């Protein structure tokens, strides 16, 4: 593990609905190092998705700072935010967000195409990513011809195709079967270990959180506690037992 990659400091975010205002993030601070995989757990409605949306610049906090690979996200400059997201961040969503009219290979290549990345031309990078997630044989399928697990594997290939510094994943295993869930965890962990990316993953599953180096618990708008996973074994048992002991 090397230098800190993601720095979040004193993030405040709330929503206003008519006269009612909801405080979601109340001065939340967090960091993720290069090559580190961090899981975020927390009750439904605690602000996990809100946090990820602020980190990738889709949503803007009221105050606080977010720095990714040395670049501070400037929430007033939408264009700079979009470029930062395109270059440095990969995103995996709970409900895949694939484009229904594009094939698997076209969906995976889309970030390269949009960014006019020359790796798009010969298709090699897309082939590599499809091989990584075990979806080479489905390259010409449309999303509706895939299972939920396969859609999520394709969306992970798309999130990683440009080699992001930071991968943000919002419940990536929420809608897949246990076997695919484990494959996804293996891919995310290898992304951190082999490519040195930072991985920040939201999950409700103690079993999947146990794959992370660190588990952060979001409660009352801040990271209320953390568990470190020191064991690097393939079977992520010790932290899993501790999470279960905490009733999570």
Ligand X SMILES: Nc1ncnc2c1ncn2[C@@H]1O[C@H](COP(=O)(O)OP(=O)(O)OP(=O)(O)O)[C@@H](O)[C@H]1O
| Number of residues lying near ligand X (CB under 6 A) | 12
195 touches Mg ion (CB under 5 A): no
Task: Fill in the per-residue mask, 29 to 48: x = in contact with Mg ion (CB under 5 A), - = not in contact.
Answer: -------------------x
| DSSP of the chain | --SEEEEEEEEEEEEEETTEEEEEEEEEEEEEETT-EEEEE--TTSSHHHHHHHHTTSS--SEEEEEETTEEP-TT-HHHHHHHHHHHEEEE-TT----TTS-HHHHHHHHHHHTT-GGGTSSHHHHHHHHHTT-GGGTT--GGGS-HHHHHHHHHHHHHTT--SEEEEESTTTTS-HHHHHHHHHHHHHHHHHH--EEEEE-S-HHHHTTSSEEEEEETTEEEEEEE-----SS-HHHHHHHHHTT-
Residue nearest to Mg ion (CB): 49
- Choose, by CB under 6 A, the member of 33, 48, 185, 221 that binds ligand X: 48
**Should residue 44 be labelled a site residue for ligand X when binding is judged by CB under 6 A?**
yes
| Interface with Mg ion, residue 49, by CB under 5 A | yes
Q: Which of 47, 90, 111, 221 binds ligand X (CB under 6 A)?
A: 47
175 binds Mg ion (CB under 5 A): no
Q: From the list 45, 70, 178, 231, which residue makes contact with ligand X (rule: CB under 6 A)?
A: 45
Site string for ligand X, 4-23 (x = CB under 6 A): -----------x-x----x-
CB of 212 to ligand X, least distance (A): 17
* Sites of contact with ligand X (CB under 6 A): 15, 17, 22, 24, 42, 44-50
């Amino acid at each position: 593990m090397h230098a800190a990659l993601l720095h979040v400091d004193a993030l405040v975010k709330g929503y206003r609905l008519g006269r009612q205002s909801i405080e979601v993030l109340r001065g939340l601070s967090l960091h993720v190092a290069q090559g580190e995989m961090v899981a975020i757990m927390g009750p439904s409605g605690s602000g996990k998705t809100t946090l990820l949306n602020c980190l990738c610049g889709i949503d803007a906090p009221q105050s606080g700072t977010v720095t990714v690979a040395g670049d501070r996200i400037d929430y007033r400059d939408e264009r700079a935010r979009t470029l930062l997201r395109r270059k440095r961040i990969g995103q995996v969503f709970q409900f895949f967000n694939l484009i229904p009219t594009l094939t698997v290979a076209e969906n995976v290549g889309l970030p390269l195409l949009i960014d006019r990345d020359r790796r798009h031309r010969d298709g090699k990078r897309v082939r590599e990513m499809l091989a990584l997630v075990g979806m080479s044989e489905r390259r010409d399928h449309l999303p509706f011809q895939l299972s939920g697990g396969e859609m999520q594997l394709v969306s992970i290939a798309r999130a990683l195709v440009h080699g992001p510094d930071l991968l943000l994943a919002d419940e990536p295993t929420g809608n897949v079967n246990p076997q695919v869930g484990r494959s996804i965890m293996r891919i995310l962990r290898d992304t951190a270990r082999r490519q040195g990316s930072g991985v920040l993953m939201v999950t409700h599953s103690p079993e999947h959180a146990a794959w992370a180096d660190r588990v952060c618990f979001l409660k009352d708008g801040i990271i209320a506690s953390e568990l470190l996973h020191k064991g690097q074994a393939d079977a992520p048992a010790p932290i899993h037992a501790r999470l279960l002991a905490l009733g999570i």
